[in-house]
């Protein structure tokens, strides 16, 4: 089933050949809505296939299918509105220094986009997922490198999207799928691929990122690689609601057997009685969580080895021991360590690296200065969370700690939990490296911006201008004219 070099070349060239068919915004929006409708109509078969390959369960997959369909419809609305084209028109002005000519700017699609599917989201971050939906919405054909953990699901979803294309008068080759590790490498190197989106490991993503940069003509590589997702619990918050925070943390870190990219994997908790109560509540919650199946044995082996090595470090305790529960399952747990051991380089640095699966690290701090010293050593993240007792009048540490967390992540939460990413226009799912390789988001309306580039026409006759930039605005697009919204 793995694609050969020739098959990858054929897939990319077939996608490149149909890019002009996606130029019609009305057809694109209809296609995205048809894809959502057909996914829902085929939902029973898709969920059955995905569950057989991932063991994520019908309930989780039903929710993911609904999210995927909603995401496609949301991008159809983005295409309809047209604001993503970012149209700017500046009329000639000889009074300026230097004088302004007639300038008209908008954004155009980059071309063929390579999408690398995720293991932990066989729908929402795979063949019909956000990278694919946003690239198609931008007018870019897509070649997906399917994930080896769910090849049948990938093919089933691809057939649905190709049927949606045919139903709305578009060529089926606006989306194709290839399989195999070597195919993924060939895909990023193909000269007709103009950009790539990736969700996966730091190691795999960095290798593809480097390959994208090493091409004779480098291309944008939007990779989501890994995230610790730190949480800071202030002393006031622990004193006020230790039990609630411990329960919430336990539910978030074990959700989906800890296989969410936004799992809270590192938590700073105060020393003392309130912190002890939080740890007790966390212990009760995690202890009552049943064992689960990880997506594949490679991930299971990495989890079991990772938690064993971390638990063996000096000063590390395991109130609930994570690890192997059976031949195919793992049990949830968490580790505790004095935060002072994490303020300088050393073997405990492993505790500041993501461990994929149902485990978190609770670091007990003695002072706000100790929190700051640990946060200064953290890598970039998708999320960062502050658990606080309220505003600065009730919790004077809240403001400074929120400011310290902000540089670390793309989404900052206060008194919530990071698992669960709403598909909303204001959403940002990205963060400083290694969370992502760019400043873009892979969730929300602005994810479309990754697959576009701006072009300005200067002093161009009206009859030669694209319709989007003509003076009478025949397409009714939102735009800025001479610096004002029109």
Partners of residue 197 on adjacent β-strands: 115, 222
What's the rounded Cα separation, in Å, for the pair 425 and 70?
A: 13
37, 186: one domain = yes
What's the rounded Cα separation, in Å, for the pair 239 and 427?
A: 31
Residue 486 lies in a domain: no
Partners of residue 454 on adjacent β-strands: 107
103, 245: one domain = no
The domain boundary, picked from 414, 448, 471, lies at: 414
Residue 453 lies in a domain: yes
Total domain count, the chain = 2
DSSP state of 200: S
Q: What is the CATH number of the domain that holds 265?
A: 3.40.309.10
CB contact at 8 A, 178 and 114? no
User: Which phi and psi (to 5°) does residue 147 adopt?
Assistant: -80, 140
For each of the chain's 486 residues, which pLDDT tens digit applies?
799 999 999 999 999 999 999 999 999 999 999 999 999 999 999 999 999 999 999 999 999 999 999 999 999 999 999 999 999 999 999 999 999 999 999 999 999 999 999 999 999 999 999 999 999 999 999 999 999 999 999 999 999 999 999 999 999 999 999 999 999 999 999 999 999 999 999 999 999 999 999 999 999 999 999 999 999 999 999 999 999 999 999 999 999 999 999 999 999 999 999 999 999 999 999 999 999 999 888 999 999 999 999 999 999 999 999 999 988 899 999 999 999 999 999 999 999 999 999 999 999 999 999 999 999 999 999 999 999 998 777 899 999 999 999 999 999 999 999 998 999 999 999 999 999 999 999 999 999 999 999 999 999 999 999 999 999 999 999 999 999 998
Tokens of 248: 């919430």
pLDDT at 337: 98
User: Which phi and psi (to 5°) does residue 310 adopt?
Assistant: -70, -40
171, 56: one domain = yes
194, 281: one domain = no
59, 80: one domain = yes
Q: Which of these is catalytic: 140, 157, 186, 261? A: 261
Partners of residue 143 on adjacent β-strands: 114, 176
Residue 426 lies in a domain: no
Q: Burial of 33 by CB count in 10 Å (0-12 exposed, 13-18 middle, 19+ buried)?
A: buried
DSSP track, 348-391: GGGGGS---SSEEEEEEESSHHHHHHHHTT---EEEEEEE-SSS
Q: Which of these is catalytic: 53, 186, 224, 468? A: 224
407, 452: one domain = no
Q: What is the 3-state secondary structure (H, E, C) of 133-156?
A: HHHHHHCCCEEEECCCCCHHHHHH
Annotated catalytic residue 261: yes
pLDDT at 393: 78
Residue 286 lies in a domain: yes
Name the nearest CA neighbour of 336 among 249, 211, 425: 249
Query: Which strand (E) or helix (H) includes residue 231?
Result: strand 230-233
What's the rounded Cα separation, in Å, for the pair 45 and 156?
A: 9
What's the rounded Cα separation, in Å, for the pair 454 and 109?
A: 9
178, 304: one domain = no
Name the nearest CA neighbour of 15 among 94, 110, 95, 92: 110
160, 24: one domain = yes
Name the nearest CA neighbour of 443 among 31, 51, 67: 67
The domain boundary, picked from 382, 414, 446, lies at: 414
Residue 429 lies in a domain: no
Q: Burial of 462 by CB count in 10 Å (0-12 exposed, 13-18 middle, 19+ buried)?
A: exposed
55, 42: one domain = yes
Residue 79 lies in a domain: yes
Annotated catalytic residue 2: no
CA–CA distance from 54 to each of 147, 417, 484 (Å)? 11, 25, 51
pLDDT at 363: 98
CB contact at 8 A, 278 and 239? no
CB contact at 8 A, 438 and 70? no
**What domain range is 471 assigned to?**
5-225+437-480
185, 247: one domain = no
198, 319: one domain = no
Residue 410 gets the label, from left (phi > 0), alpha (psi -120 to 50) or beta, of alpha
Q: Strand ranges (DSSP E) for 256-341?
A: 266-270, 292-293, 317-320, 323-324, 329-331, 333-338
Residue 75 lies in a domain: yes
pLDDT at 344: 92
Tokens of 191: 């000269």
Residue 424 lies in a domain: no
pLDDT at 328: 86
What's the rounded Cα separation, in Å, for the pair 446 and 455?
A: 18
The domain boundary, picked from 414, 445, 462, lies at: 414
Q: What is the CATH number of the domain that holds 190?
A: 3.40.605.10
89, 30: one domain = yes
């Amino acid at each position: 089933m793995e694609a050969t070099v020739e098959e990858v070349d054929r897939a990319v060239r077939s996608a490149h050949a149909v890019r002009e068919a996606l130029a019609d915004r009305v057809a694109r929006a209809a296609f995205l809505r048809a894809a959502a409708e057909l996914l829902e109509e085929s939902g029973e078969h898709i969920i059955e296939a995905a569950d057989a390959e991932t063991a994520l369960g019908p309930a989780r997959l039903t929710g993911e299918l609904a999210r995927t369909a909603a995401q496609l419809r949301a991008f159809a609305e983005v295409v309809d509105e047209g604001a993503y084209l970012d149209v700017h028109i500046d009329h000639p002005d000889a009074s300026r220094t230097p004088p302004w000519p007639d300038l008209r700017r908008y954004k155009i699609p980059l071309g063929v986009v390579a999408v690398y599917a995720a293991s932990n989201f066989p729908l929402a971050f795979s063949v019909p997922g956000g990278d694919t939906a946003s690239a198609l919405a931008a007018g870019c054909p897509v070649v997906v490198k399917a994930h080896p953990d769910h090849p049948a699901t990938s093919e089933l979803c691809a057939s649905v999207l190709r049927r949606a294309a045919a139903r709305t008068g578009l060529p089926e080759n606006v989306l194709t799928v290839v399989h195999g590790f070597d195919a993924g490498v060939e895909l990023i190197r193909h000269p007709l691929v103009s950009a790539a989106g990736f969700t996966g490991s730091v190691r795999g993503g960095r290798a593809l990122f480097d390959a994208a940069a090493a091409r004779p003509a480098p291309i944008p590589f939007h990779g989501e690689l890994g995230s610790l997702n730190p949480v800071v619990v202030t002393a006031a918050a622990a004193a006020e609601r230790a039990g609630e925070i411990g329960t919430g943390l336990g539910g978030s870190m074990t959700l989906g057997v800890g296989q969410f990219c936004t799992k809270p994997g590192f938590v700073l908790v105060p020393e003392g009685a309130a912190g002890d109560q939080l740890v007790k509540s966390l212990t009760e919650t995690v202890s009552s969580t049943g064992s689960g199946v990880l997506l594949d044995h490679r991930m299971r082996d990495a989890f079991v080895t990772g938690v064993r090595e971390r638990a063996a470090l000096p000063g590390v305790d395991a109130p609930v021991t994570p690890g192997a529960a059976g031949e195919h399952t793992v049990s949830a747990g968490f580790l505790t360590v004095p935060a002072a051991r994490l303020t300088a380089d050393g073997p405990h640095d492993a505790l500041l690296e993501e461990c994929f699966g149902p485990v978190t690290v609770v670091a007990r701090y003695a002072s706000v200065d100790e929190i700051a010293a640990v946060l200064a050593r953290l890598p970039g993240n998708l999320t960062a969370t502050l658990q606080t007792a309220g505003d600065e009048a009730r919790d004077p540490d809240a403001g400074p700690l929120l400011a310290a967390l902000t540089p670390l992540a793309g989404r900052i939460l206060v008194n919530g939990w990071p698992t669960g990413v709403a598909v909303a226009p204001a959403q940002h799912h990205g963060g400083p490296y290694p969370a992502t390789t760019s400043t873009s988001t892979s969730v929300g309306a602005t994810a479309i911006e990754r697959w576009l580039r701006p072009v300005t026409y200067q002093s161009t006759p009206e009859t030669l201008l694209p319709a989007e930039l003509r003076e009478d605005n025949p397409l009714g697009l939102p735009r800025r004219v001479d610096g004002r919204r029109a």
